[in-house]
Amino acid sequence: MVRMGNKSLITRDVGFISCEMGCFFRYFLQLVEKVCGGADLKKHRTGDLKFIQQLNESVVLEVIREKGPISRSKIAKVLEVSPTTVTSAVNLLMAKELVVEDGIGISSGGRKPVLLRFNPTAHSIIGVSVTNTKITIAVLDLHGNIRKREVHPTNYAKGKVMVELLVTKVSQFVQLYEDLPHCQGISVVLPGIIDAQHGTVSYNSKLDLFDVPLAKIIEEQIHLPVFIDNDANALVLSEYYFGSFTHYKNLIYITIDEGIGSGIMINGQIFRGSNGSSGEIGHTSVVPDGMKCECGSRGCLENYVSWPVIYAKIVAAMMANAIQSTMYTMIGGDIRKLTPEVFLKALQEEDPLALRIMQEMVRYLSIALKNYIHLFDPEAIILSGSVVQGNQLLVEQLQQAVKKKVIPNLRSKINIQLTPLGSENRMVGAAAVLFNNKFRFTFAASD
Ligand SMILES: [Zn+2]
């Protein structure tokens, strides 16, 4: 069947589509025009017409978003469909305020054409990011720009308490939100295994959430459509829609904080696997029979690369007093003040302990990235998280280490980069999840 994101097509609005899907839909539109003819579409069932109408809007909106300001006739040429089809779709998009007229173009002989552009500010999204320590809630426009933002500490709440706290904070935020009619919905991103289709947190051991129907719980309280997704999936979508990787279709996104997670994009679509647990890079093995992991296995990457591991290594070295470190001076000997920012600053100052720990990170991460590259052949691997934010030295060393490990024909194509979206990338990720669900067609194999 055809879906809009994770929900049924018929309940959803117009859609954006990837290049491959765009080619397919363009072909489909041309076929519809040939078989039915514009006016004869009225003979078809209401459901079919609605589907075709949404398809038209989706494809036309995609072209306007990518190529605008653009005239109606140019859109028809790009899509190789009739001007009537384009005009009809544009009228609907303008009625929804998703598209506006913006200036006059150059004439190629006749009357000067009116140009159209995407209008991202007419609608809003409420984005919510949940971590072990804080809940961040923000209003964003359809370009992922933040208009208003709040942060609430969780005091390490878990399980039912955590869910109640989340619902309370989001409810309070929505009650004070003055432009609800233009809000497209709420998007929640958090770590762990997420069943995005059913809006369920399947597994998050750190927050003690197992098979929690989070989207349904929030929807019952707030009466807005709610979407949830894994944070790494959200982050890879944010790069695809709003970051510097909009022209890439095959991406791996790795985030390193309290744990390590990843999102996989294949041909412009999130690859979720059969249980929604794809991309669990933190539990891939990098050391045979290595350290015991909370998942029950041994030698998982998370036990060698995440912030708690780095923290423990720094503290152990300080306690043993084996290495003099600038970090000890920076925190005044108080290990409670030891943060990822201190570690990153020490790296900039070429602190020997910080450099040694980073080299160990590179050693283990490069094994995981080598495996990723050989399995998925991505166009780019994007890194983010408090441990790597702004850490260009790590990227350079990782690039070199991975180059030495991959097969020869891939060595010149290794492309590892830091996220360009900065510290608010989780909020932009939340916006991207809703954007992907409400404004994009996808095909599912079965219902
Ligand atoms: Zn594990």
Residues 160 and 212 in one domain: yes
| Per-residue confidence (pLDDT) for residue 29, from 0 to 100 | 58
The pLDDT of residue 13 is above 90: no
Digit-coded pLDDT (tens) for 313-329: 999 988 887 567 899 88
Q: How far apart are CA 8 and CA 375, in angstroms?
A: 31
| Per-residue confidence (pLDDT) for residue 323, from 0 to 100 | 63
Q: Over pLDDT 70: what percentage of the chain?
A: 87
299 CA from centroid of ligand 1 (Å): 7
pLDDT greater at residue 406 or residue 329: 406
Q: H/E/C letters for each residue in the chain?
A: CEEECCEEHHHCCCCECCHHHHHHHHHHHHHHHHHHCCHHHHHCCHHHHHHHHHHHHHHHHHHHHHHCCEEHHHHHHHHCCCHHHHHHHHHHHHHCCCEEEEEECCCCCCCCCEEEEECCCCCEEEEEEECCCEEEEEEEECCCCEEEEEEEECCCCCHHHHHHHHHHHHHHHHHCCCCHHHEEEEEEEECCEEECCCCEEEEECCCCEEEECHHHHHHHHHCCCEEEEEHHHHHHHHHHHHCCCCCCCCEEEEEECCCEEEEEEECCEECCCCCCCCCCHHHCECCCCCCECCCCCECECHHHHCHHHHHHHHHHHHHHCCCCCHHHHHCCCCHHHCCHHHHHHHHHCCCHHHHHHHHHHHHHHHHHHHHHHHHHCCCEEEEECCCCCCCHHHHHHHHHHHHHHCCHHHHHHCCEEECCCHHHHHHHHHHHHHHHHHCEEEECCCC
| Per-residue confidence (pLDDT) for residue 442, from 0 to 100 | 45
Average of per-residue pLDDT across 261-273:
93
The pLDDT of residue 6 is above 50: no
Residues 297 and 182 in one domain: no
Residues 379 and 261 in one domain: yes
**Final residue of a structural domain among 101, 118, 135:** 118
Average of per-residue pLDDT across 245-268:
92
| Per-residue confidence (pLDDT) for residue 44, from 0 to 100 | 47
| Per-residue confidence (pLDDT) for residue 354, from 0 to 100 | 95
Distances in Å between the Cα of 50 and the Cα atoms of 53, 63, 172, 320, 333 are 5, 20, 36, 70, 66
374 CA from centroid of ligand 1 (Å): 21
Residues 113 and 128 in one domain: no
What protein residues have CB closer than 5 angstroms to ion ligand 1? 283, 293, 295, 297, 300
Mean pLDDT of the chain: 86
385 CA from centroid of ligand 1 (Å): 19
399 CA from centroid of ligand 1 (Å): 25
pLDDT greater at residue 62 or residue 40: 62
Supply the CATH number for residue 73's domain: 1.10.10.10
The pLDDT of residue 77 is above 90: yes
Q: How many domains does the chain have?
A: 3
CB-based contact 258:305 (threshold 8 Å): no
Digit-coded pLDDT (tens) for 418-441: 998 877 889 999 999 998 887 765
Average of per-residue pLDDT across 233-250:
90
pLDDT greater at residue 4 or residue 371: 371
pTM: 0.81
Digit-coded pLDDT (tens) for 338-357: 999 999 999 999 999 999 99
**Final residue of a structural domain among 88, 118, 148:** 118
Enclosing domain of residue 266: 244-420
280 CA from centroid of ligand 1 (Å): 9
Supply the CATH number for residue 437's domain: 3.30.420.40
**Final residue of a structural domain among 118, 140, 173:** 118
pLDDT greater at residue 307 or residue 5: 307
The pLDDT of residue 130 is above 60: yes
Residues 255 and 228 in one domain: no
pLDDT band at residue 45 under the 50/70/90 scheme: low
